[in-house]
Structure 1
């Protein structure tokens, strides 16, 4: 064994005596070769394997695979066939009959970087190492503010919402020792995945990444999980961490008012019976998400329709579509999922689309996770962590250039840059491959904006559905609804038994709740009725001490990855801020107005270089407010934003010191 690294015990692996040899051999023959090679290195401690196989790979700079997509080069991260065969052969030799518990643990950063380089076949700079270690699940998030004082019993926190971020906040607040209560207006946890029950509802981020970095799940049945499966995952996490005793379901937060005198928030809640009460808390965390209220279009006559009108976010599971004439309004992610799922049930299906999205092929969207892959994820040491790392790597900052504008290129091209052009040509080719024999339909499906100006949609079978004889696409919107159908803005009348509104959500951030800060102004007023939301780091707003807004303005990871990384970044920052207050004997923190203004000036400057704001590329979408400002996308790389949120920056904040220590705090400190 060369370049051996000392072994530790890996709790997630089974020892050789309990390993099913047939299952192991089947996994080796079928699972992904890159994480398999990394697992071999962990089992043997032999870094010579890294050099041996790494020397046979072509290592590229992240993002360059978009420039070679039409060449004979392998896609980024794909190993040559001879390398794959040799890895599998070596795995049989080294793993069958081996002890899978005494393995190399998490290696030093420099070794980890080398392993990540070989695992991805790309350059992995040192700045990414801490992020990858955390987000791939090798380590839990590391506390930055020194912890010398335990949170006092009276330092309580209210979390609003029990979706993916609210659950995360509850776990991390509890682990840090803070008292907390989560209020959830709905009847169960899950947020988006409790609300969206429409046919075909699914996550459009890979399941093995779109999950908590500290709660990896080897049992995903789909590479892109359905809504019900994701909801089950969240429920299992809630049960594992015994969160239900801290969650108040069917309880709506009506308002929150800052009391300067006692430096606390007074939070008014309404329970299922309509009873109003008030709770007090030192800090409030809004985990409502930015898209939480169904967007019901204002169409004349909608209330006169004799059939059934249903928004996808208010789906009735008892709705029977068999043999019905159905109209679907919209062509975003939700619409394509619904259409692909109901096409075999309905008598006729009319899809009404005002503005189509760029749609790209993604075979894994509808693929099941093979049993051999699930076995490897569950049993091979560190295989899961490396599988997740690759899933994150190729869906994150590799994509950062795609929505960014090259002014010289954009001056003479429809696309925004050479990289953006690769996405455009991929989507155009997919259209051509599907509808070459129907140029009229292809024209209707072709957007008039650059890729990424709206969300890129991965096709779950939408294009195939549109080719069915009983399906029609209409490039229009609703002009009016009558008792028996819809008249479109193009003058067509479409008969219907059921109208499905796949029209998404209103962009609300936290303004649906009446939140009043220290100067008597509400958050809705400060944000111009929610039209111009601006926050420091996407989390804090001047004049609202100890209020933390998750999924806040300009924090959406719109170039890649998923909401889960934003959730973990922001929750980490919140816990660090609260601990900083305790460590420094402060009661509250607020953002300096000049720091808020400076941060948002940098945000706007960076966004000016993207398709969301650059002249010639703008398009109406929920990414932008009515004035045309991009209020959703985060302009930074994921690694940049992650780094910004490691700990509070005192120079940007103001503090109110604790003048009278409570008995509980004194007891803890002594």
Structure 2
């Protein structure tokens, strides 16, 4: 049975006319009732179901607040029974494109929550119901010779290639590594996984019904990206093992010269009308400079430079770090090694998330693949509770924070969940609870979802040390607390150096260097994307664009790519050759960014250390806006914010 053609984007939903009753029964029983109910609305076209179940949910709620998004059992059972009866005869949608008003009402019942009007178009796109709506009129095609260079073949670079091709722009992708995938081709350490739910952490135009886990492993996510490359025909446009060394704007031609070191080692110069950087900000491994490193007789690895041939079975391992990567490595290695010494300067707030290690049942995958619109609505619900529902948690309530470690009631809820997780895991180990309890509020550093890390720390072969490495000996390490830890292997789970293009030489108009513009670890850009003096130079994952309150990098990256395409189309429609933001516009935008961030833990995070703040304490990574607000800002450029250059006139 074919549900979706492998050549179609996944918003193209086809009818299912033949159904195996046993498979359907299992799928309906395992399915989430909210998305299942919405699939029923699509199949029948009966919009009265929305009002009927809105009333049922309200009536069943009673005086006890429900678990967010969880239907009362009686309502869930009714949805499943009616869905099976309806679907066993086949599934032919009668309602394919609900109006915005109806879609919003459907979304509210699906997630069992109020959904603001501003979310309607946002959820339609992010849920995978439709492609991004074009805002700049499309009446012209790009002129011959108009070319775009994309730097990087990770999540953003592949997205850029797909959308450039759809908009008829000629493009070339340069990738320094010998494979696509960015983070997920580089990070092959044991336990490497995505900490955003699978069914949301994918392109909105290329949903995947076949995730094997609710949070994908690194290898599975890389397989997904390779599928995308093959489906959309990107391989011929990607030059692997090609490092971009320099980008220089040429005023006479109004084009960028992009100098690369090709796979054969030769130096080459390419020209382009526009450049899109898709390099991310966490690229170079951060390896601490510790005395005695060269004297160590065992194996030393950083998690970003992991040797997949390394066998740690029966070895004694000293692991430095306790962030997202460290917890994955520790949970994965604990059953293999003889001894695991976990050493860290600061703990993170660790939340329990049972779904991190949970497999997606076959019946659920059947529902995703075969019940039309089910996976789109499942994605809406997943995103709803992983996105802007968490926007208030990093924001400071001055009255509350004056008397608490947490900064607001919402922030305190997260802290209590984490503390309860520690208490349940180590009821008889006050020493471990103390060592693992941060002295700063949640979200000041990245929240960690527990993949089994706390349980691993309670094992007999694991020791916990609130310290760092002072010195490395030939057969182990000495901590800053003076302890000697005998080790055969040292693993640095110490993250990356945060680099906003500091590794690349970028020269704009009048010889202006981006390194100078962004000196002092203080990068600024309009919408996190464009910089004055650098025409047609588009930065993705730029300063203050990370959704650190929730959501996922995939959402922001799609928004950035959409904005770039809209900018390029605006140039084509108006016969301009180049655009760059006005400096006063950039300054005003960043004034508002700083003003908003000043009310968050990202700026006032207490003793928290990490990459969210630069050397002077400015929050330079986090985006202060709700995801829906930032997405709305990225629908199309405002011409009054830019200077434009006419074609043929520098």
**Under a length normalisation based on structure 1, what TM-score does the superposition of the two structures give?**
0.94
Partner of 1:648: 637
Work out the CA distance in 2 between the residues paired with 1:182 and 1:602: 34
Work out the CA distance in 2 between the residues paired with 1:34 and 1:330: 40
Partners of 2:57 and 2:71 within 8 A in 1: yes
Partner of 2:35: 35
Partners of 1:12 and 1:378 within 8 A in 2: no
Q: Give 2:610's match in structure 1, choosing from 604, 613, 621.
A: 621
Pairing of 1:363-378 with structure 2 (within 5 A): 363-378=354-369
Work out the CA distance in 2 between the residues paired with 1:59 and 1:154: 63
2:490 partner SS: strand
Partner of 1:5: none
Work out the CA distance in 2 between the residues paired with 1:73 and 1:349: 43
Partners of 1:181 and 1:246 within 8 A in 2: yes
Partners of 1:352 and 1:474 within 8 A in 2: yes
Partner of 1:427: 418
Q: Give 1:556's match in structure 2, choosing from 546, 549, 554.
A: 546
> How far has the Cα of 1:618 moved from its partner?
5.4
1:394 partner SS: helix
> How far has the Cα of 1:267 moved from its partner?
0.5
> How far has the Cα of 1:652 moved from its partner?
1.1
> How far has the Cα of 1:153 moved from its partner?
2.3
Partner of 1:20: 20
Pairing of 1:444-593 with structure 2 (within 5 A): 444-528=435-519, 531-593=521-583
Partner of 2:375: 384
Pairing of 1:235-254 with structure 2 (within 5 A): 235-254=226-245
Partner of 1:233: 224
Q: Which moved more, 1:73-82 or 1:246-255?
A: 73-82
Partners of 1:153 and 1:178 within 8 A in 2: no
> How far has the Cα of 1:21 moved from its partner?
1.6
> How far has the Cα of 1:58 moved from its partner?
3.8
Partners of 2:440 and 2:606 within 8 A in 1: yes
Work out the CA distance in 2 between the residues paired with 1:313 and 1:14: 44
Work out the CA distance in 2 between the residues paired with 1:499 and 1:281: 45
2:485 partner SS: strand
2:310 partner SS: coil
Work out the CA distance in 2 between the residues paired with 1:102 and 1:402: 39
Partner of 1:57: 57
Partner of 1:96: 88
Cα deviation per residue 1:600-643 (whole Å; 9 max; x = unaligned)? 000000000000113x6352210111011010000000011001
Q: Which moved more, 1:581-590 or 1:211-220?
A: 581-590
Q: Give 2:591's match in structure 1, choosing from 601, 625, 628.
A: 601
Partner of 2:209: 218
Partner of 1:176: 167
Partners of 1:160 and 1:166 within 8 A in 2: yes
Work out the CA distance in 1 between the residues paired with 2:221 and 2:308: 17
Work out the CA distance in 1 between the residues paired with 2:302 and 2:234: 31
Q: Give 2:72's match in structure 1, choosing from 73, 77, 80.
A: 80
Partner of 1:635: 624
Pairing of 1:158-169 with structure 2 (within 5 A): 158-169=149-160
Work out the CA distance in 2 between the residues paired with 1:484 and 1:286: 43
Partners of 2:317 and 2:488 within 8 A in 1: yes
Partners of 2:192 and 2:218 within 8 A in 1: yes
> How far has the Cα of 1:183 moved from its partner?
0.1
Work out the CA distance in 1 between the residues paired with 2:558 and 2:391: 20
Work out the CA distance in 2 between the residues paired with 1:83 and 1:611: 40
Partner of 1:665: none
Unaligned stretches of 5+ in structure 1?
1-8, 662-670
Partners of 1:396 and 1:560 within 8 A in 2: yes
> How far has the Cα of 1:525 moved from its partner?
1.2
For the aligned residue pairs, the C-alpha RMSD in angstroms reads: 1.7
Cα deviation per residue 1:445-486 (whole Å; 9 max; x = unaligned)? 001110000011000000110010010010000111111111
1:104 partner SS: coil
Work out the CA distance in 2 between the residues paired with 1:609 and 1:618: 16
2:291 partner SS: coil
Could you say if the C-alpha distance between residues 10 and 319 of structure 1 is closer, same or farther in structure 2, counting changes exceeding 3 Å? closer
Q: Which moved more, 1:21-30 or 1:385-394?
A: 21-30
Work out the CA distance in 2 between the residues paired with 1:659 and 1:14: 52
Partner of 2:3: none
> How far has the Cα of 1:91 moved from its partner?
1.1
**How many residues are paired up?**
641
Q: Give 1:266's match in structure 2, choosing from 257, 274, 280.
A: 257
Cα deviation per residue 1:587-612 (whole Å; 9 max; x = unaligned)? 10011111111110000000000001
Could you say if the C-alpha distance between residues 512 and 633 of structure 1 is closer, same or farther in structure 2, counting changes exceeding 3 Å? same
Could you say if the C-alpha distance between residues 372 and 409 of structure 1 is closer, same or farther in structure 2, counting changes exceeding 3 Å? same
Work out the CA distance in 1 between the residues paired with 2:513 and 2:325: 33
> How far has the Cα of 1:511 moved from its partner?
1.7
Partners of 1:545 and 1:589 within 8 A in 2: yes
1:474 partner SS: strand
Could you say if the C-alpha distance between residues 634 and 553 of structure 1 is closer, same or farther in structure 2, counting changes exceeding 3 Å? same
> How far has the Cα of 1:548 moved from its partner?
0.4
Q: Give 1:611's match in structure 2, choosing from 601, 606, 610.
A: 601
Could you say if the C-alpha distance between residues 268 and 10 of structure 1 is closer, same or farther in structure 2, counting changes exceeding 3 Å? closer
Work out the CA distance in 1 between the residues paired with 2:94 and 2:300: 58
1:458 partner SS: strand
> How far has the Cα of 1:519 moved from its partner?
2.3
> How far has the Cα of 1:659 moved from its partner?
2.7
Partner of 1:326: 317
1:55 partner SS: helix
Work out the CA distance in 2 between the residues paired with 1:265 and 1:183: 15
Partners of 2:45 and 2:93 within 8 A in 1: no
Partners of 1:611 and 1:618 within 8 A in 2: no
> How far has the Cα of 1:304 moved from its partner?
1.9
Is residue 292 of structure 2 the alignment partner of residue 291 of structure 1?
Answer: no
> How far has the Cα of 1:11 moved from its partner?
5.3
Partners of 1:13 and 1:380 within 8 A in 2: no
